[in-house]
Structure 1
Amino acid sequence: MGELLTVKTNTELKESDKAEIDRLIEQTIAWHSKNGAMIIKLTMDSVTALTASESRAKELAQQSFFKRAWNNLTGKNQKIRAQIDVDVSRVQYASQQMIQKLAEQNLLTFDLITAVNNKLNTLVLEIDEEFNQIYRVLGAFFKQTRSDVVQLENRLDKVERNLELLNWKATIEYQMYDGKEYAYLPDMEKIICIANDFLHKTKGIWSTTDLMLLKSTLAELGLSIKQSISARSFYQSLSEKPILIERLFDGISLDSLLAVEPYQAPVLKGIEKTLKLHSEEKYILESVKEQLHLAGVSCNERDIQLSLVHQYLKNHAYMNSDVEVNLFDFVVELLVDLNMIHTAVVIPEESGVENKKRKVAGDYDLSLIDMGENRLDVIEAVKNICEISLIEAKECINHVPSTILSRVTKKQANEARDILIAAGAKVIVKTYIENVHIVTALKDGYVKLKAQGNFVRVGEYVQKGTILAEISDVELTKPKPPSFLTGGVLSNHSKLRSTVSGKVSSLLVQNGEKVVQSQPIMVILIEA
């Protein structure tokens, strides 16, 4: 493995400081070497920090692995980490060493390196030539590392093959989506179906050989794997046919996507932004349209949406969505991003909350699902439970669902739960190994939870596709025609179906209650 770029900085680090940082890097990798999702995040954090300007690097230091992965350091180590947070020289050295040591331990896989290369190719470059030189050297390093990975795997004697994957490839031409065989789908729909299928067939664990099988599968379906594709064209297809987003995420919980920074998984964060512009951020789209209308400028809503997503990625993921990359490389990056959230083990951000959590070890987590109407009371409750400042408490609950307590005893979790419920919040207690899926309302209306066994109850195990509830346009007390007629759904009713398999943990609304779009309805503990 060749040496990575030696970053030139205005401040030369002392050898003792370098040694301290090296030890922290090694400790961090040891903690997370079995967590594929975290390895992806560490790599993306490091690459982004190395190619960033001074101001951007300082910002990244406050939110990347420097915060996430080193959140229980004390004493001298804590001092070194604090220096990293404010010194770009230390940021870049730590990032460089992280990449180098991940490569030395063979933790940079073919697919991850491909995703990094895509990131470098679509990066919004800085004006400073020094940073662009870093970018060029990084690109050469990762290309060489990917070649080394392929050669290493070719030398290994692997007789096992993924039989399920081989059978899938052999019958791929007969697979169907939306009433059409895969071979006759538009290119973007082929990519989406193949990516989701491959993820589930491999269960998120694949080799370079498996990826080469994927490559030949794409070619057999008529896709030119050497052609180029841009993220913007991908988002345009999703915007034109939003149901494709559901197909892409079929069987994949999006809960952990909230904990992913835009620059770590830019393709998925662009999709997330697309979804938000159709729901809670639709007002942004409407505001732009209104201003253009007042100015007498004709506009296309889809073009405005794509522009907003493009600017979001440019400013938060440092990505130019207009840049084209190789189609196969794009599919691999999409898989890396999907697998990051599909197999994620949630690692909470560092804060005063986390420091308090670690004082007592247990097997239970307390998660805040909805703050209710008394936001200030909930913030005060979190402050008292975690013994932190009001500012830290507010930051802790900025994004729900949010883990308030982690790895505490059941008694502690239940006591804190009662306090938060009294403050008007909706919370759940679960074991730390359980994943939570929040079922939300598809539209405004009245929720129907009971109908002679048609809907689920707390404690019931459900499969993907199970009808959970129904959202009606009219109050349940008013006369209306039956809504469960065979073969059809009435226009003023929407059946709420589960997108995951697991156990219904709790109901967050009452039968007949009026709800708004995206309001949490119930909680499902996802099967491992």
Structure 2
Amino acid sequence: MDYLAELEANISYDDRIIINNRVATISKEIEQWDFCDRNRFVIEGINALTATRARNRELASQSFLEKCVFNLTGKNKKMQDAINYNISCALYSAYRAIKQCAERTTLSFEMMAFINNKLNMVSDRAEEGILDLASKLKMFVRQSRNDYINAAARLDQIEQDINVLKWHSTVEYQLFQGCDYFDLGIAEKMICISNDFYTISRGKWSYSDVLLLKKALDSVGIRSRDKIIYKDIIDAVQKNNALYDRLLEKIDIAQPDECTPSLCILQEAVKQNHCDKIAEYADSNFSIDVNTTIDSFDFVLGLITELRILEESKKRWYAYQREQKALLEKQKHEKVLEKIKSDLRLADKYYRNGCYMEAVEICEKYECIVPDVQMDIPIRILADAYANGKGVPKNISVALEHCDFGIELNNAEFAKIAGDMCYANDMKERAYEYYTKAYSMGNSSVLYDIGWAAYKGEGCKKDYKLAEELFMQAVANGDNRGLINVGMMYEFGQGRTVDLSKAADLYLKSLEAGYTNANDRLNAVNEKRVNETKLLSYVTLFDVNYKSTGSLYSKSCIDNKKVTNFIHEFINNYGPSEYDSIESFKKYLYDSLIIYYDNTMFGSGDTGYIITREGIFANDTLVEGCFYFKDITNVSLSIGTLSNTIYFTCNGNKEEISFVSDDDVAHRIYDIVALLMNMN
């Protein structure tokens, strides 16, 4: 007794009648189904037929068996309790359904090629009975395909896609990664041509177009009966992941699933490095033996069929979304809306109590109708869930997509939320874009965030002036976080002249607003103010008593021509530091200058150094560059016969500045330098 007869013997007469009637009904209904539904049904049947017994237990929950078998469970209680009996019914119904679809010429030419290809690749580890069923069905499908070809050949007129015709005539000259198709390996040729044919035919082709596809393969050196080992295609994709991208190029498809085994296996090949794992994946999930030899033409037909199934699925998903929205729009009445609002309030409660999956499930159902219910709970929860991996895998890109949906609805708060997400994930430029977007939409709560970006130069150009304006605007709106930052600008001379009194006032206001970290800065600035008083006394003493001594100039007797020459020469060598322009840098030096020393032989002023509150700016034969007091240690003074020298260490390097002056002036300069080092 063969396996089919054995299956029939195992199934009760009544259940066989029910299955046969159901299959007959479906085989008629399928003629009215679209391409996607029809082919998914057939592929699900093939999967059910060729799967191992263990895999069939898993398939028992899927749509094919629901259509052909599970409607029996309500009438026959024993089927709910006997898994093996249920699997027998599944195998029997799968065989009968596919056979009837072929008999009624419901299957397209490429689908019959797909079925033939899948049956050829059934794993040798499948049960003997399944192999027997596959062999019987393969013979029948081949005969059906032959009948299809003969019928097509008798047509008086054959419609051809003009674009496919043009492509066929030039395909051998197409390029992939700089190589002619003709010079590519067989796997690369098959993948490139599959994508070309699919995109040029726009996913819809006639039998005559398929014949042109066969000729196109022949023109690049692949005859329709040429064989290729499935594993060789997988190896090619593993070695060159760009092949998988090439296969999907310009095609918007859904995620590959059990009805698209080749795309699933090739996608897995991109992820996995080990061939053994790919082979195990193909066998356990699709009962496919990757060491099988297959017809190259049949494989290409299978690929384009899978691409069309997934593209149609994606289109249907979009259509479903539109239909759902239209349906909900039709049902706009108080009762429906109140029920939705009640569910969303429940979702909010779930989320706050840590029941993330339940909340996400409700929100995904209702997110598309947020404008109708005037509640942003779904967007807020889904954005936070994906940003933090609560109830769903963490995915910042998806979280931002939900925020973008909120922004499209003119909710500026989601621009702020998106900015915070980007900033937390070190995406500073995108964070700045979202913050500025939020502000342009009227959300003033981001003033501090934009100010902080300008203050730190994160995502935009550093701009202390802009940062101060934004911080103070935020303060005017009740956000006092920026007070301490503006205080630091006055304390450290960031974009402005140092003003310790103003800094202390800002720190005190920040402290009064509840920001206790301002206390440390207030203490530090008060100490600086004491030192500032001391510095003022030193500078005043030098300015009043010494004014100009040799080549040394105090602030009250600056030689403008010499200083200008020095600044230009210094800028030519070192640039204007962090300042925007020569003029701003020049202004800084003039405003902050304490001592200028001209070390030019003929007094032109282009070499020497300037001492400011922040550092020593030198362009001299012994020392060159910017030496900031915050980086200086170990200051000492050496009194010489012809000149005096101040030695110091900056960033671990020993440096010195020399000048001609009497000993008293040298001590005054040393006192100033040592004090400025301590102040910074």
TM superposition score category, shorter chain reference:
0.5 to 0.7
Cα distance in 2 between the residues matched to 1:251 and 1:316:
28
Residue 427 of structure 2 is matched in structure 1 by 446
Cα gap change, 1:448/1:323 in structure 2, threshold over 3 Å: closer, same or farther? farther
Kept in 1: contact 2:199–2:251 (CA 8 A):
no
Q: What is the CA distance between 1:147 and its match in structure 2?
A: 1.0
Cα gap change, 1:404/1:274 in structure 2, threshold over 3 Å: closer, same or farther? farther
Cα distance in 1 between the residues matched to 2:114 and 2:191:
17
Residue 377 of structure 1 is matched in structure 2 by 355
Deviations 1:197-249 (A, max 9, x none): 10011111222222121111111112243321122111111121111221111
Residue 169 of structure 2 is matched in structure 1 by 170
Q: What is the CA distance between 1:345 and its match in structure 2?
A: 5.1
Cα distance in 2 between the residues matched to 1:414 and 1:21:
51
Cα gap change, 1:312/1:268 in structure 2, threshold over 3 Å: closer, same or farther? same
Bigger share in helix: 2
Cα distance in 1 between the residues matched to 2:138 and 2:79:
28
Match of 2:378 among 406, 412, 417: 417
Match of 1:341 among 310, 333, 339: 310
Cα gap change, 1:155/1:408 in structure 2, threshold over 3 Å: closer, same or farther? farther
Q: What is the CA distance between 1:413 and its match in structure 2?
A: 11
Kept in 2: contact 1:10–1:89 (CA 8 A):
no
Question: What amino acid sits opposite 1:378 in the alignment?
Answer: Y
Question: What amino acid sits opposite 1:417 in the alignment?
Answer: P
Is the aligned partner of 1:329 residue 2:298? yes
Match of 1:275 among 270, 289, 296: 270
Question: What amino acid sits opposite 1:306 in the alignment?
Answer: C
Deviations 1:94-124 (A, max 9, x none): 2133213322442211111111111111111
After the TM superposition, which residues 93-108 of structure 1 pair with which residues of structure 2 at under 5 Å, given as runs?
A: 93-108=92-107
Residue 214 of structure 1 is matched in structure 2 by 213
Cα gap change, 1:225/1:104 in structure 2, threshold over 3 Å: closer, same or farther? closer
Residue 125 of structure 1 is matched in structure 2 by 124
Kept in 2: contact 1:49–1:60 (CA 8 A):
yes
Q: What is the CA distance between 1:407 and its match in structure 2?
A: 10
After the TM superposition, which residues 340-489 of structure 1 pair with which residues of structure 2 at under 5 Å, given as runs?
A: 340-344=309-313, 361-362=327-328, 377-382=355-360, 385=362, 404=365, 411=372, 417-418=378-379, 420-421=381-382, 424-425=385-386, 426=399, 446=427, 448-449=429-430, 477=458
Deviations 1:258-308 (A, max 9, x none): xx11xx32211112212333xxxxxxxxxxxxxxxxxxxxxxxx5xx2221
Question: What amino acid sits opposite 2:185 in the alignment?
Answer: P
After the TM superposition, which residues 7-406 of structure 1 pair with which residues of structure 2 at under 5 Å, given as runs?
A: 8-9=7-8, 11-15=10-14, 18-19=17-18, 22-23=21-22, 26-27=25-26, 30=29, 33-67=32-66, 87-126=86-125, 128-257=127-256, 260-261=257-258, 264-277=259-272, 302=273, 305-344=274-313, 361-362=327-328, 377-382=355-360, 385=362, 404=365
Cα distance in 1 between the residues matched to 2:353 and 2:314:
28
Kept in 2: contact 1:196–1:250 (CA 8 A):
yes
User: Matched residue of 1:158: which SS?
Assistant: coil
User: Matched residue of 2:200: which SS?
Assistant: helix
Q: What is the CA distance between 1:17 and its match in structure 2?
A: 6.2
Cα distance in 1 between the residues matched to 2:301 and 2:88:
32
Q: What is the CA distance between 1:449 and its match in structure 2?
A: 3.9
Cα gap change, 1:167/1:418 in structure 2, threshold over 3 Å: closer, same or farther? closer
Cα distance in 2 between the residues matched to 1:193 and 1:27:
36
Q: What is the CA distance between 1:478 and its match in structure 2?
A: 7.3
Q: Percent identity over the alignment?
A: 22
Deviations 1:115-139 (A, max 9, x none): 1111111111356433322121111
Cα gap change, 1:51/1:223 in structure 2, threshold over 3 Å: closer, same or farther? closer
RMSD, matched Cα: 4.6
Kept in 1: contact 2:103–2:144 (CA 8 A):
no
Cα distance in 1 between the residues matched to 2:70 and 2:8:
28
Residue 400 of structure 1 is matched in structure 2 by none
Structure 1 runs not aligned, ≥5 long: 278-301, 349-353, 367-372, 387-402, 431-440, 458-474, 481-528
Q: Structure 2 length as normaliser, TM-score? A: 0.48
Cα distance in 2 between the residues matched to 1:275 and 1:153:
39
Question: What amino acid sits opposite 2:21 in the alignment?
Answer: D
Kept in 2: contact 1:7–1:92 (CA 8 A):
no
Cα gap change, 1:379/1:413 in structure 2, threshold over 3 Å: closer, same or farther? farther
State which drifts further: 92-101 or 264-273. Answer: 92-101
Kept in 1: contact 2:203–2:308 (CA 8 A):
yes
Cα gap change, 1:405/1:308 in structure 2, threshold over 3 Å: closer, same or farther? farther
Deviations 1:390-418 (A, max 9, x none): xxxxxxxxxxxxx6469989747977725
The number of equivalent residue pairs is 384
Question: What amino acid sits opposite 2:356 in the alignment?
Answer: V
